[in-house]
């Protein structure tokens, strides 16, 4: 009896296949953080030739034989439903190593992996008109469904889902005012805090000095290009990751930036400066810039009295510090809502100027110092 059971067990083991019968399909976006997709790079209409890799597929044949395969792609929109469907002609999938296919392979004609059968759904005509008018995909959530079928009956599917935001909001807050309305507001520090609101993450800040040689009716656009004194790229990163792959960007915790105390040309009292922000959204190909308004400010002479505007600047700096306690005290509903600093400032018992205080607050913003406790008396 025991000998018979042993023989059956040996036969069952010997009957197992030597190779796993499977194929692997993996789909990935080239850049997970893209906010804008152009028509030429994501060929929804089927009429253009992509110039950049937006997504890629990795296909691996883990069987012991060459397979005949078909690859299909279904494009869907959360708002409009099924948009388009395409399928390649049959192609041979060799045994490992894996092959890599991108959107440029699928949407370029006369290629091995071209979508030779590609149709646009009738329900997507409205979206198609928007895409052709804008040159890019409208905001919304989209999905790419891939299916790989083989002549042996094996099947693999993958789904990519991504959201397009097409950010365009860029509202300036301080310092100064819209340069097209009046002469720049007076500020009382040579280290202003630039503040704005936006749904973008990367920005270019340009600051120009208004030079006397310009004619009186020079436009803000002419002035901002006349004598640029500072030009920097800023990226909002609440973690302040210093291991950024882009050494030409300065990381900032939110949409504000303290003019640096070192490494930048000093701004001078008595002079007027014009500044402009450009939003730089992440796109699938060419870089684009969303220009904000041009604002201006004038730096007061040192002997001018401390004004409400200057105190407001200090108040804004306090609100920008990364601590909830100050926001609770000074913000809406807080016990100090509506109050401005008195102008008398002491650090460790010693009187300091507003520039010294602004420099100290900048050290808190950069993370060099940390606020342990806040007391309201």
Q: What is the DSSP string of 295-348?
A: EEEEEPPTTSPP-HHHHHHHHHHHHHSS-HHHHHHHSTTSTTTT----S--EET
Q: Which of 163, 54, 37 is nearest to 106 (CA)?
A: 54
Mean pLDDT of the chain: 77
Q: Which helix (H) or strand (E) holds 31?
A: none
pLDDT in tens, 300-317: 876 554 555 556 666 666
**DSSP structural state of residue 367:** T
Question: Which has the higher per-residue pLDDT, 112 or 14?
Answer: 112
Of 188 and 242, more confident: 188
Could you count the other beta carbons within 10 Å of the beta carbon of residue 314?
21
CATH classification of 170-366, choosing from 1.10.1060.10, 3.40.50.11540, 2.60.40.10, 2.30.42.10?
2.60.40.10
Whether 19-164 shares its CATH topology with 170-366 is answered yes
pLDDT score, position 158: 94
Q: How confident is the model at residue 42 (pLDDT cuts 50, 70, 90)?
A: low
Angstrom distance (rounded) from CA 300 to CA 282? 38
| Whether 267 contacts 227, CB under 8 Å | no
Domain boundaries, given as residue ranges, for the chain: 19-164, 170-366
pTM of this structure: 0.60
Return d(Cα 323, Cα 267) in angstroms, integer.
29
pLDDT of residue 18: 36
pLDDT for position 303: 57
How far apart, in whole angstroms, are the C-alpha atoms of residue 288 and residue 278? Answer: 9
Q: Which one has a higher pLDDT value, 108 or 17?
A: 108
Task: Please return the burial class of 278, using the count of CB atoms within 10 Å of its CB with bins 0-12, 13-18 and 19+.
Answer: middle
- Looking at residue 59, its pLDDT comes to 94
Which one of 2.60.40.2550, 3.90.1490.10, 1.10.3720.10, 3.60.20.10 gives the CATH number of domain 19-164? 2.60.40.2550
| Cα 259 to Cα 191: distance, rounded to the nearest angstrom | 5
Q: Cα(22)–Cα(44) distance, rounded to whole angstroms?
A: 31
Work out the average pLDDT over 227-232.
92
Give the model confidence (pLDDT) of 129-150 as tens digits. 777 777 777 888 989 999 999 9
Instruction: List the helix and strand counts (H, then E) for the chain.
Output: 7, 21
* Band of pLDDT at residue 3, cut at 50, 70 and 90: very low
How far apart (Å, rounded) are the C-alpha atoms in residues 344 and 353? 9
Token pair listed for 305: 């009295």
Does residue 138 sit in helix, strand or coil? coil
Yes or no: say if 113 and 91 are a contact pair by the CB < 8 Å rule.
yes
Peptide bond into 175 cis (omega under 30): yes
- Given pLDDT bands bounded at 50, 70 and 90, which one contains residue 72? very high
The residue among 101, 110, 103 whose CA lies nearest residue 69 is 101
């Amino acid at each position: 009896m025991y000998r018979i059971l042993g023989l059956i067990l040996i036969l069952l083991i010997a009957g197992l296949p030597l190779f796993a019968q499977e194929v692997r399909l993996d789909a990935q976006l080239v850049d997970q953080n893209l906010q804008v997709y152009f028509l030429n790079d994501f060929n929804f209409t089927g009429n253009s030739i992509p110039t950049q890799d937006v997504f890629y597929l990795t296909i691996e044949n883990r069987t012991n034989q060459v397979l005949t395969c078909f690859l299909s792609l279904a494009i869907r929109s959360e708002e409009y439903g099924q948009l388009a469907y395409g399928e390649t002609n049959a192609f041979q999938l060799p045994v490992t190593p894996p092959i890599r296919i991108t959107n440029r392979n699928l949407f370029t004609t006369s290629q091995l992996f071209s979508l030779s059968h590609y149709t646009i759904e009738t329900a997507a005509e409205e979206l198609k008109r928007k895409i052709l008018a804008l040159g890019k995909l409208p905001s919304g959530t989209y999905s790419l469904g891939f299916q790989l079928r083989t002549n042996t009956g094996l099947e693999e599917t993958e789904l990519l889902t991504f959201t397009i935001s097409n950010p365009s909001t860029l509202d300036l807050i301080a310092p100064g005012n819209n340069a097209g309305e009046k002469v720049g507001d007076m500020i009382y520090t040579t280290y202003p805090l630039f503040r704005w609101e936006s749904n973008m993450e990367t920005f270019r800040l340009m600051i120009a000095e208004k030079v006397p040689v310009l004619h009186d009716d020079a436009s803000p656009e002419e002035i901002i290009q006349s004598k640029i004194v500072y030009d920097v790229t800023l990226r909002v990163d609440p973690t302040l990751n210093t291991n950024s792959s882009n050494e030409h960007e300065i990381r900032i915790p939110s949409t504000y930036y303290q003019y640096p105390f070192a490494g930048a040309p000093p701004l001078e009292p008595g002079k007027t400066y014009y500044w402009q922000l450009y939003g730089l959204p992440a796109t699938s190909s060419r870089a684009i810039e969303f220009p904000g308004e041009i604002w201006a400010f004038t730096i007061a002479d040192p002997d001018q009295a401390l004004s409400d505007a200057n105190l407001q600047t200090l108040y804004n700096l306090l609100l920008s510090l990364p601590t909830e306690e100050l926001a609770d005290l000074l913000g809406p509903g807080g016990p100090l809502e509506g109050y401005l600093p008195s102008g008398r400032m002491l650090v460790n018992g010693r009187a300091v100027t507003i520039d010294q205080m602004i420099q100290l607050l900048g050290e808190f913003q950069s993370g060099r110092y940390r606020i342990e406790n806040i007391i309201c008396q």
